[in-house]
């Protein structure tokens, strides 16, 4: 089954949608971290994607759903994965005149979490953000999709990390080993939002936070520290 939403809807539209809230129990908590109410009222999903900011919150959100987008021009359309839309800094797989019309993702998608660190909790862009969609069965990770922003020139779907996690036992050891893969996948730079080392540390903490938040019966900060 899939969920299809129009790319012209705003963040506020998502917040006010009972159907979308039904898919994401913590939606309000997650999306209240996105900018301000005034911006959420007018910022569209397509605009967030096409802006191609390496720290776009909604881009990270939908990357972790392994979402696809529909690109249309005149009477022609094509569908690509959002993770393939970004070829380089502000370089998109988008032809002249093409517009994003739809966003598509599979349901059910397991448990979902979004994390963001910024200088201010609200009304601020991220230093680093990350989202995760994790599906577990009998203690085994069936499907993992992890995204991150602020750690490279483009919004990033962490393919190597996801591939490592798939079919692994959910355990502190697995998460520690996955972070080692993650650190090799990212290429942060030092800027006003933090040094390379700081951003690496932030993403490690956000990555750990996904599992602590979603699977507290198995993963805790204390047992991650013991395994480190």
pLDDT digits (tens, 9 = 90+) for 185-212: 999 999 888 899 999 999 999 999 999 9
- Which pairs count as long-range contacts for 70-73, CB under 8 Å and 24+ apart, including other chains? 70/7, 70/100, 70/101, 70/102, 70/103, 70/104, 71/95, 71/98, 71/99, 71/100, 71/101, 72/98, 72/99, 72/100, 72/101, 73/97, 73/98, 73/99
Q: Which domains does the chain have, with CATH numbers?
A: 1-228 (3.30.390.50)
pLDDT given for residue 109 in this prediction: 84
- Is the pLDDT score of 107 beyond 70? yes
- Is the pLDDT score of 167 beyond 70? yes
Reported as a pLDDT band with limits 50, 70 and 90, residue 123 is low
The pTM for the full model equals: 0.95
- Is the pLDDT score of 121 beyond 70? no
- Is the pLDDT score of 106 beyond 70? yes
Average pLDDT on 94-108 reads 97
pLDDT given for residue 34 in this prediction: 86
* Dihedral sign computed on CA atoms, order 164, 204, 201, 187: positive
Cβ–Cβ under 8 Å, residues 114 and 30: yes
Cα dihedral 192/42/8/157 (nearest 10): 20
Reported as a pLDDT band with limits 50, 70 and 90, residue 122 is low
Cβ–Cβ under 8 Å, residues 149 and 173: no
pLDDT given for residue 136 in this prediction: 97
Summarize pLDDT for 127-162 with one digit per residue, the tens: 899 999 999 999 999 999 999 999 999 999 999 999
Query: Checking phi first, is residue 97 left (phi over 0); if not, alpha (psi -120 to 50) or beta?
Result: left
């Amino acid at each position: 089954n899939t969920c299809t939403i129009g790319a012209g809807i705003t963040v506020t539209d998502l917040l006010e949608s009972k159907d979308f809230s039904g898919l994401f129990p913590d939606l309000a908590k997650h999306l209240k971290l996105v900018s301000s109410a005034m911006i959420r009222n007018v910022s569209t999903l397509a605009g967030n994607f096409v802006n191609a900011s390496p720290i776009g919150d909604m881009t990270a959100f939908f990357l972790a759903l392994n979402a696809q987008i529909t690109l249309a021009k005149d009477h022609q359309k094509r569908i690509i994965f959002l993770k393939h839309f970004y070829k380089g800094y502000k370089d998109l797989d988008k032809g002249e005149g093409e517009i994003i019309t739809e966003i598509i993702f599979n349901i059910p998608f397991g448990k979902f979490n979004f994390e963001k660190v910024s200088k201010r909790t609200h009304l601020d862009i991220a230093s680093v953000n990350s989202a995760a969609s994790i599906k577990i069965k009998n203690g085994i990770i069936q499907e993992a999709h992890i995204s991150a922003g602020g750690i490279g020139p483009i919004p990033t779907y962490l393919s190597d990390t996801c591939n490592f996690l798939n079919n692994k036992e959910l355990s502190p050891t697995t998460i520690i080993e996955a972070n080692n893969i993650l650190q090799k996948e990212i290429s942060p730079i030092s800027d006003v939002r933090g040094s390379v080392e700081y951003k690496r540390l932030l993403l490690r903490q956000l990555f750990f936070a996904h599992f602590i938040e979603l699977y507290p019966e198995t993963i805790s900060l204390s047992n991650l520290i013991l395994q480190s």
